Copies of this chain bind each other. A is one copy, B any other.
């Protein structure tokens, strides 16, 4: 069988809002799946979330729903629910896949849908295992990480909704795993994922939970320093900051070599009574190491530091804000094949990304924009359900379905 992309033979219906579930669906779409996002009339609660383009189009929504098709149905009516069920359960080898983070109500329950299509796969994201509501920012405070971040006793939230991003990728992983189960057994599982469990996993996977149990140790806030190794930030002469790290001994030696400070740094060993060839020793002596390095950075501009570190094997990087990332950094530009230019409805010409995995032979699904809300309602109902035009028009007039807003 010839497939353009790894998931080109799959269709997924997504009934979702916000970040985690839409990002999961978008990941599948950017691997080739036909992902049909169903929204209620007028859009769901996330349709107008900030940031906005000048005409009010949500850049948030446009960024999280790229490469999908958009269908609008009156999901609060029996007719709208019936059409949604029909789309989810439409026959065909690649179909019978639902991804949702909406509460599992009667009309969209696994039981109701499995009765219509016995091999249905349902991916369901909840806030908590019991089905309660939670969002990234309210599970984040429980994680332990905010109180280990920054320099003081006050917690510091991460701005990246890391739990939503992880949840999205657990959903994409879990869906493909569920598909294997269906292939092997003929039955499609219901797969549930709680955002709170997604939050708990890294603390346990990275040793923090074990450290409490075994050593009664709590990771304290360390500013921008790396735990258990040498790494921290430094200021430059031209008001910039850089992050310098060393994991391997080779990377460590490269620092002394590129700065010319090898001999002075070596004095730190006996002074702090540590072995600087040991990662933990470098962590223990980090303040002394920083004291020696700080003036070297403070006397040089970012450009001079870049030149000094070119080809040196030093593991470092400059801090930049989002504007510098977009305007100055070639990795966030069309020079990076993960990015491309599209005409985004409601926005105009825009550089957008596809997903980061690259497959030999197939490459990547090219970057594409997000649909207008309801852009594909008619096409999808016609294509998948065989709905005739006159019937579609009647459903529109009755407010059961909606196409894109007239501009």
Which listed residue, B18, B178, B221, B331, touches A6 by the CB 8 Å rule? B178
Instruction: Looking at the assembled complex, report how far the CB atom of A346 sits from the nearest CB atom of chain B, in whole angstroms.
Output: 10
The answer to whether A247 and B53 have CB atoms under 8 Å apart is: no
The 4 closest A-B pairs by CB, nearest first: A50-B228, A169-B169, A176-B176, A197-B356
Check A359/B178 contact, CB under 8 A, given A218-B321, A224-B157: yes
Restricting to A1-36, which residues have a CB under 8 Å from any CB of B?
1-3, 6-7, 9, 18-19, 23, 26-27, 31
Q: Cβ of A154 < 8 Å from any Cβ of B?
A: yes
Q: Answer whether residue A99 sits at the interface, using C-beta atoms and an 8 A cutoff.
A: no
Contact, CB under 8 Å: A241 / B159: no
Is B178 a contact of A356 with CB atoms below 8 Å? Answer: no
Say how far A194's CB is from chain B's closest CB, in angstroms: 7
B155, A158: Cβ atoms closer than 8 Å: no
Answer whether residue A269 sits at the interface, using C-beta atoms and an 8 A cutoff: no
From A358, which residue of chain B is reached at the shortest CB distance?
A: B192
Given A147-B319, A184-B3, A189:B325 Cβ within 8 A = no
A191-B358, A200-B331 known; A214-B350 Cβ under 8 A: yes
Contact B205 A353 (CB under 8 A): yes
Q: Is A272 an interface residue (CB 8 A)?
A: no
Q: A159-B222, A176-B179 are in contact. List 13 more A-B contacts (CB 8 A).
A: A48-B279, A50-B283, A138-B315, A142-B331, A146-B319, A156-B224, A176-B180, A177-B357, A191-B360, A197-B356, A204-B332, A205-B353, A212-B323
Report how far A325 CA is from B201 CA in the complex, Å: 12
Instruction: Find the B residue at minimum CB distance from A65.
Output: B205
Is B219 in contact with A159, judged by CB distance below 8 angstroms? yes
In the complex the two chains form, what is the Cα distance from A142 to B306 in whole Å? 14
In whole angstroms, how far apart are the Cα atoms of A337 and B196 in the complex? 13
Q: Report whether B319 and A59 are in contact in the complex, using a CB–CB cutoff of 8 Å.
A: no
Spot the interface stretch: A160-168, A378-386, A397-405: A160-168
Contact of A322 among B45, B212, B228, B351 (CB under 8 A): B212
**Shortest Cβ gap from A328 to chain B (Å):** 10
Partner of A323, one of B50, B53, B128, B216: B216
Known: A135-B245, A181-B3, A207-B59. A158 touches B158 (CB 8 A): yes
In the docked arrangement, what's the CA distance between A200 and B329, Å?
11
Check A317–B138 contact: CB distance below 8 A.
Answer: yes
Q: A406: CB under 8 A from chain B? A: no
**Pair B209/A147 contact, Cβ less than 8 Å:** no
- Contact partners of A224 in chain B: CB under 8 A: 146, 155-157
Q: A214-B54, A233-B157, A322-B203 are in contact. Are A193 and B148 (CB under 8 A)?
A: no
